[in-house]
Amino acid sequence: MEDSAPGPGIRFQFTAIGTNWTIDTGTPMPETVRQEILELCEDYDKAWSRFRADSLVTQIARSSRGAIYTIPNRDIALLDLYDKLFTATHGALDPLVGRDLELLGYDAEYSLKPDYEALALRVQDSWVRDVHREGSRLITERPVVIDAGAAGKGYLVDLIGQVLRSAAIDAFLVNGSGDLLHSGPEPVTVGLEHPTREGRVIGTVALDNAALCASATNRRTWGQGLHHVLDGRTGQPVHKVVATWVIAAGTATADGLSTALFLADPGQLEAFEFSWVRMLADGRVQWSNNLPGELFL
Amino acid sequence: MKTHPLTRAAAGAAASLAVLVPLAGCSTEDSRATAAPSQQSTSSPSASTSASESTEVQAAGYTDGTYTARGYYGGAPSYMSFTVTLDDGRITDVESGLMPDNNETSRGYQERFAAALPDEVIGKSVDDVEVGVLAGSSSCGDGFNDALAKIRDQAATNS
């Protein structure tokens, strides 16, 4: 695979929020900027990770009763985005599927074993009913599990982009294991990885000062029909859509929409500006008329 | 969207639509014109059953122009869309279109049909295309991969 870095191709590689990242820049990234990015990622993880005991999300999930919590001001827009996605998908995209993910096995210990007894008794939480928000204050009435998987990584990509721009680095490609943010004078050609056929792409798109996020349910699956994209209204993994790709101005939006396309039809998402591709389980491929690329179908 | 040429039945149904609304842009899919629901697509008594070039409009006072309306009939998702041209109180042209069930054209998308699993979408080898970077779903976190590997080992030894 060709190196995609704009300019001479300087790559910063690191691990954050449990996965692998690369940032390609045209000019070398000062050590101070690298440090700032690593600290940002750690701070973000400490707020939103379901998988660490010391996170805010775990605190909210394991409390004995409801309480008032404060989220970082920096992340208010992430929850605003979830509000918008929840509304657009009529509740199918719901951050409170965290508990359902746990019961299905995708818990903090990665037990990967469904708790069928608890699932039988499970009544779904609802983001609009069970969490009350006022700015950075988050109020719960009982323990709830927030899963920031739908848009959380994309939001962090955007935050990293802001750090780079503040450091006068304007040519970059941030790659948070498949969530991409491009900035610079030369667009980059992105291959859309085939979800089931290794080494193949179903198309290519030109990414030009925009974000691209991809999602597929076959990658993170731990049992028959068990994967991480749940319909918030039922708590069940969805099966009609198997892979999505979204291009939008911001990575948080692209990430959230790449999940939303599993849970809603594109016509429901008209409040957002984006182009997209999605692959259905029956083999159909759908794409928006404004897709800046070509598909090999 | 396919459009069908004027037919007698279409002319009759168009004449029996209770409301016609002026068409602002030319896009019928964007029109939100209302029409009487559950209209059957049959000629109304007042429409002539013999072929005729124009049909008198029942409601008076329509200015000349092009109008579109939807007639709903039969099962829930089906409707026909009629675009009629009025000239001096007479319908001089009717175009009808049969809308597909999933008309998502306001977002605008295309679809490619295949009969089988996504495996049937062959795509191209990465070696055959010039790409700077690949976008697939996120690679799983290390924790997940480790756990999955453990479970697979267990399953293998337990079987």
- Per-10-residue mean pLDDT, chain A, length 297: 50 94 94 98 97 97 95 98 98 97 93 93 96 96 96 98 97 94 96 90 96 90 88 95 96 98 94 95 90 92
CB pairs A-B closer than 8 Å: 191
Per-residue confidence band for B158, with pLDDT thresholds at 50, 70 and 90: low
Contacts of residue A117, defined as CB under 8 A and 6 or more positions apart, other chains included, come to: none
Interchain pair A196, B119: CB under 8 A: yes
pLDDT at A24: 96
Q: Which among A1, A219, A296 is the nearest to B134, CB-wise? A: A1
Residue with the bigger pLDDT between A76 and B90: it is A76
How far does the CA of residue A28 sit from the closest CA of chain B (Å)?
19
CA distance A37 to A69: 25
Tokens of A266: 């594109």
Structure ipTM over 0.90, yes or no: no
CA distance B26 to B131: 40
DSSP for A79-142, written as a single string = HHHHHHHHHHTTTSS-GGGHHHHHHHT-STT------HHHHHH-----HHHHEEEETTEEEESS
Q: Which among A3, A200, A212 is the nearest to B125, CB-wise? A: A200
Interchain pair B107, A173: CB under 8 A: no
Interchain pair B129, A204: CB under 8 A: yes
Interchain pair B112, A20: CB under 8 A: no
Contacts of residue B56, defined as CB under 8 A and 6 or more positions apart, other chains included, come to: B15, B89, B90
Would you say residue B59 has pLDDT above 50?
A: no
Residues of B with CB under 8 A from a CB of A: 102, 104, 106-127, 129-144, 146-148, 151
Q: Which among B104, B108, B135 is the nearest to A193, CB-wise? A: B135
**Which segments of A178-294 does DSSP mark as H helices, in order?**
251-263
CA distance A8 to A25: 8
Interchain pair A189, B114: CB under 8 A: no
User: In this structure, are strands B55-56 and B90-98 parallel, antiparallel, or unpaired?
Assistant: antiparallel
CA distance A106 to B30: 43
Rg (Cα) of chain A, in Å, rounded? 19
Interchain pair B135, A266: CB under 8 A: no
The helix (H) or strand (E) run that includes residue A28 is none
Q: Which among A112, A202, A280 is the nearest to B148, CB-wise? A: A112
Interchain pair A283, B147: CB under 8 A: no
Task: Give the mean model confidence (pLDDT) for residues B53-78.
Answer: 54
CA distance B132 to A186: 11
DSSP for B112-153, written as a single string = E--SS-GGG---EEGGGS--SEEE-SPPPPHHHHHHHHHHHH
Residue with the bigger pLDDT between A166 and B141: it is A166
Task: Give the mean model confidence (pLDDT) for residues B137-155.
Answer: 69
How far does the CA of residue A131 sit from the closest CA of chain B (Å)?
28
Q: Which among B109, B126, B133 is the nearest to A287, CB-wise? A: B109
What's at A268, amino acid-wise? Q
Interchain pair A267, B144: CB under 8 A: no
Per-residue confidence band for B156, with pLDDT thresholds at 50, 70 and 90: low
pLDDT at B146: 75
Would you say residue B148 has pLDDT above 90?
A: no
pLDDT at A283: 82
Interchain pair A192, B130: CB under 8 A: no
Q: Where are the domains of chain B?
A: 8-98, 118-158
